[in-house]
Structure 1
Amino acid sequence: MLTGMPSLSHNEQQQAAERIRELMEGGMSSGEAIAIVAQEIREQHQGDRVTVIFDDEDDE
């Protein structure tokens, strides 16, 4: 789910959530608002190193 997304600071996360709320208040669906904000974040952080950790352990 987080593949290709940079790590965000707490402040950046709050700004993203506020941007999503603003778009939704303007009548946009939550899914569309999230997609737009995710794309904006990707563009702003282009070239940043992204670390993704996969947990391969089975929870049995």
Structure 2
Amino acid sequence: MITGLPALTHEQQQAAVERIHQLMADGMSSGEAIALVASEIRETHQGGHIAVRFEDEDDDKA
């Protein structure tokens, strides 16, 4: 599967990590915090995107 991911600067990445840590400190699970921040980034990101390919290991087995 090929998808486009937001291309974030180092500062944007650091801000996202800090937000995730704060949400976790406030009692949110890590998975929920990551999903929430990722969703916020997708909704508000104005920059470019990078192409990423994800390979499903199950497809390789015959």
Q: Tell me: higher relative CO, structure 1 or 2? Use CA pairs within 8 A at least 6 residues apart.
A: 2
Query: Whose helix proportion is higher, 1 or 2?
Result: 2
TM-score for both structures, normalised by structure 1:
0.73
The residue identity in structure 2 corresponding to 1:19 is: R
After superposition, the CA RMSD in angstroms is: 2.5
Query: Whose strand proportion is higher, 1 or 2?
Result: 2
Q: In the alignment, what sits opposite 1:22?
A: 22
List alignment gaps of at least 5 residues for structure 2: 56-62
Q: Report the count of equivalent residues.
A: 54
Quote the sequence identity (%).
Answer: 57
CA–CA separation in structure 1 for the residues paired with 2:43 and 2:51: 18
The residue identity in structure 2 corresponding to 1:23 is: L
TM-score for both structures, normalised by structure 2:
0.71
